[in-house]
Structure 1
Amino acid sequence: MKNLNFKKGIAIGTMVGLLLPLLEKENRVRLKGSAFHVVNQICFYRKQPSVAVHDLRVGIGKIDDYLDELTKYVEQGSALIEGKASKRNS
């Protein structure tokens, strides 16, 4: 029974947390504009699936480039740490 009440409390708290910011008109207007933009994008991609595939591939390419750069920085950091550790042991 306690577990059910806990889950209800979490659900109610989540709903209040999501709805409370909508009391301000600026947030409602921004949300409405964002929703309108998303719906337009969905309609566009439904009519032009090849564009959706192209945009997805471009996005994946950007993520791949970012991960390559991140890997390079991690390797540089690892080499730096190993260099400092080997100097201490010498």
Structure 2
Amino acid sequence: TPPIVHRDIKPENILVLSRSPFHIKLSDFGLAKAGSYLETRCGTLVYTAPEIAQYCRPNSAGSPRYTCAVDIWSLGVVVFQ
């Protein structure tokens, strides 16, 4: 079964239901897609992994090829902030 890639992890899509113990849910799966390798440019640019963001520049050719690791990058950016 291919993994589901959320592709738009950002603070607005992380719901904290309780803090003791932490109970967190992820919302807004509108851009989510199942697949081992994806090529569509989407998501919020500030939280997007570099392998996708580099194709969002003007005059960039081709399309990105990425895995579910982009969600880990996005979550790391959210936690760092």
**Fold shared, TM-score > 0.5 on shorter chain:** no
Q: Which has the higher strand share?
A: 2
Q: Give the TM-score of the pair, scaled to structure 2.
A: 0.21
Greater relative CO (CA pairs within 8 A, separation 6+)? 2
From the CA coordinates, give the structure whose radius of gyration is larger: 1
Q: Which has the higher helix share?
A: 1
